[in-house]
Chains A and B, each alone.
Chain A
Amino acid sequence: MRHTHPAQDARHVIDVRRLTKRYGRTTAVDALTFTVRQGRVTGFLGPNGAGKSTTMRMLLGLDRPTHGEALFDGKPYCDLPEPLRHVGALLDATATQAGRTARNHLTWLARTNRIPRRRVEEVLDVVGLHSAADQRTRTFSLGMAQRLGIAAALLGDPEVLLLDEPVNGLDPEGVRWIRTLLRTFAAEGRTVFVSSHLMSEMAVTADHLVVIGRGRLLADADLSEFVRDGEESLEDAFFRLTSGGGSDA
């Protein structure tokens, strides 16, 4: 049973090995190596433009790495059969076709991976969108779009959640809702990898942090280690890490 593995001897669910992406002469992601372990929330922190989204897209096989690889339980994402049942992802919640209702959006997505129809109703309940399920997504606020995006990620009842900036544009209630959701998910022995540029949010959500800047790994440590380092706050640690432009030369 997947939920019974104790967290202390957690498996590496995601293995990122020397992942690199170059666009012409620009290096967006530079030989990134880290692992994401089971049963906890791993925050993926970095300033805007640090390469977080590019990394996320490479994890999902949407962008082809220039070098390196990203593996889920030893397999590239593209080799997972019916991947939604294993990995749930939220990249851009506003990426829906505006003329389709929320329920129908989830219905076609469920069909791609032979996910039973009732799961659509279940996830609509989980994210609190049942009353808006038959509205076209054109009418959705950003908060509702994020909820629909989360519903899509949860659709296959996955063991791994991969979320790119899920709290962007959410009101405090929505932020708290996502935080609780991610904590609960990890507490069930599942795995969460969530990117953010808000260290305050990561301080209360994540157990472990992977920090990148200009496409490079700056830190990979448990949250407690960041704060233990002297008396500085996580915020200070973040700025110390990300402003260290000297490491770039």
Chain B
Amino acid sequence: MPSSTFRAELTKIRTLRSTVVTLALVPLISVGLGVVSFTSVRIALERGLPVVRPDFEPVTDGLVTVLYGQLALVAFGVLTICGEHGSGLLRLSLSATPNRRTFYVGKIIACAAVALTLSYATVFATFLTAHWALGAYGPSFSSEGALRVLLGTPLYLTGLCLFALGVATVLRHTALALTVMLSFVFVVSPVANLVPGLKEVAHYFPDQAGTSIMKVGQQADPVVGPWTGLLVLAAWTACALLAGCWTLSRRDA
């Protein structure tokens, strides 16, 4: 993959207002929601109110707001490709880089670089927010599993973002791809978790397998371990991106 394609894709991301705003929402949601949510949890814990889950884990629950911020990251993955389909820009992109695999790989790497950098910043900022807002109940770097969660969660977020990119490349339409991705993460996956029979399978869904990297102590996933979970997500992402590459290469632009 020539680096010129990658650099052009980075420029595209940086110079489009909608992608910049979408990306800014990732830390804003995660930290903003964190300030409110973690403060109220601390107050509840201090007063012994029974509203906090009994298996409260500072490290895992101190990053829970990232799971809302991730929606903006999913949207970013979708917009990166569907924005080109919708506007017709894809034809210009492909006339500049006619090798579609080269084009797509450049786009994936640019998307991954941005998502990974932003995810690390967001996860650390949210962790520090939890540390500060939860006070005595908050996580610290020496908490059990803290290092693994801090290093691994951004990998999960990036993986899910790229999964969305792959799915969106196959579906092509922004509204359709966003609906599919968000309803999957917000509705299908949580509901499947409640249905006996489906529940066992749901452990291997991309989002649930991926989030096992965030779970420590009593909340640890009994079926899929943290790193195994990341590998499962990686497999999903690889499949989605391969399907996206195949679709892009086969179809008329």
Contacts and interface: CB of A to CB of B under 8 A. Distances in A.
B96 interface: yes
Quick one: which of A61, A63, A105, A111 has the most chain B CB within 10 A?
A111
A57 B4 contact: no
Interface residues of B, number: 27
Contacts of A95: 87-89, 91-92
A77 B96 CA distance: 10
A95 B89 CA distance: 5
A136 B252 CA distance: 28
Interface string B4-21: 110111011001111000
A112 B87 contact: no
B11 A60 contact: no
A57 B11 contact: no
Contact of A83 (B7, B11, B18, B96): B96
A223 interface: no
Contact of A61 (B84, B93, B94): B94
A149 to B, nearest CB: 9
A80 B96 CA distance: 10
Contacts of B252: 57, 62-64
Contacts of B88: 92, 94-95
10 contacts: A57-B91, A60-B91, A61-B98, A95-B89, A109-B8, A112-B4, A112-B8, A112-B96, A113-B96, A136-B17
Interface of B: 4-5, 7-9, 11-12, 15-18, 83-84, 87-89, 91-99, 252-253
Interface of A: 57, 60-64, 77-78, 80, 83-84, 89, 91-92, 94-101, 104-105, 107-109, 111-114, 136, 152
Q: 7 smallest A-B Cβ distances: which pairs?
A: A95-B88, A104-B15, A111-B8, A112-B96, A99-B17, A108-B11, A78-B98
